[in-house]
Amino acid sequence: MENKKVILSGIQPSGAMTLGTYLGALKNWATMADEFDCYYMIVDMHAITARQIPAELRKTQLTQLATYIACGLDPEKNTLFIQSHVPAHAQLGWVLNCYTMFGELSRMTQFKEKSARNAENINAGLFTYPALQAADILLYQADYVPVGDDQKQHIELTRDIAVRFNGIYGDVFKLPEPYIPKIGARIMDLQAPENKMSKSAIDDGGCVLILDKPEDIMRAFKRAVTDSETSVRYDLKNKPGISNLIQIYSACTGNTFQEIESEFSTKGYGDFKKSVGEAVVETLRPIREEAHRLIADKAHLESAYKQGAEKASRTANKTLRKVYKKIGFIEP
């Protein structure tokens, strides 16, 4: 059997996942299983760099796993697992802490941003988590990591750490490449279209969640920010709100921007926003219904994450044993 390239990614269970996460990531992930050997994590260890309510964290992880599956990530074709269920992540994370320079961590943009937002809790984990993230990737000898622009710096650091380690001990780690999908929507906030859609903007009405009820989705789109013109046309610089809605409508319907502009050439913004909302409702409806069915089937979810952890551990432990041998640890 031909060896497939390995692709790996993960999402923090620090809240409900957004429409932007689905259209920009999960929708693409679901198409990759035939081409790649896919590993998708729920990165609970990263989530605790900010304080979490334990019961909510447990619930969010199960909901996230159910949503992964409902979005088309078949556990039989993809390795779906919870990060902390594979101890090799923490074990290699510590080793790589010792091969990651203080100055490199100091320059990480996300550390600066998160420190500003969590001034009362600037903990060591928040500072060193890029080393754990490098371990997440390097454990599986990943060829590709799907990333947005805000994560490219982490891939660069992961490569730097791998090059440093390989330079000392030989060819241990594969150097990962960022994976930019051929079709990937960058979905922006409905109230502040200059910002990426984020679950932190739920209270402002700028964020739509994958499991939102239809009436909540429609309300969000009816309130979406537009501009003082009346024409539905894609112009990212001058019409960011309308351009964002066009991108969302295109991602949900498959229609090109040109087809959308033609469809709404004689209609106003009210009609357009209503149509976008309806398209999103129908796109998310089967996902929401299937996710709720899975959430109620705890035994199925437990079977899925245990199966995923078992497979992930086999791959991860192979890398970890090689690393331990190279650095001089005695095999237990």
| Integer Cα distance of 18 and 268 in angstroms | 27
Which of these is catalytic: 77, 114, 274, 326? 114
What ranges make up the beta strands (E) of the chain?
Answer: 5-11, 36-42, 79-82, 144-146, 177-179
The closest alpha carbon to 20, from 223, 186, 156, 190, belongs to 186
Sheet hosting strand 36-42, strand order edge to edge: 79-82, 36-42, 5-11, 144-146, 177-179
| Interacting residues of 184 by C-beta distance below 8 A, sequence separation 6+ | 24, 25, 28
Which of these is catalytic: 199, 274, 311, 322? 199
Other Cβ atoms less than 10 A from the Cβ of 294: the count is 20
Q: Quick check: is 306 catalytic?
A: no
Which of these is catalytic: 77, 196, 311, 326? 196
Q: Quick check: is 273 catalytic?
A: no
Backbone torsions φ then ψ of 34, nearest 5 degrees: -75, -30
Find the distance separating the first CA and the last CA of the chain, reported in whole Å.
Answer: 33
Angle between helices 88-97 and 298-327 (to 10 degrees): 40
| Integer Cα distance of 44 and 58 in angstroms | 9
Other Cβ atoms less than 10 A from the Cβ of 121: the count is 13
Other Cβ atoms less than 10 A from the Cβ of 183: the count is 11
Backbone torsions φ then ψ of 63, nearest 5 degrees: -65, -40
Q: Quick check: is 196 catalytic?
A: yes
| Interacting residues of 33 by C-beta distance below 8 A, sequence separation 6+ | 73, 74, 77, 78
| Integer Cα distance of 53 and 228 in angstroms | 43
Return the active site residues. 114, 196, 199
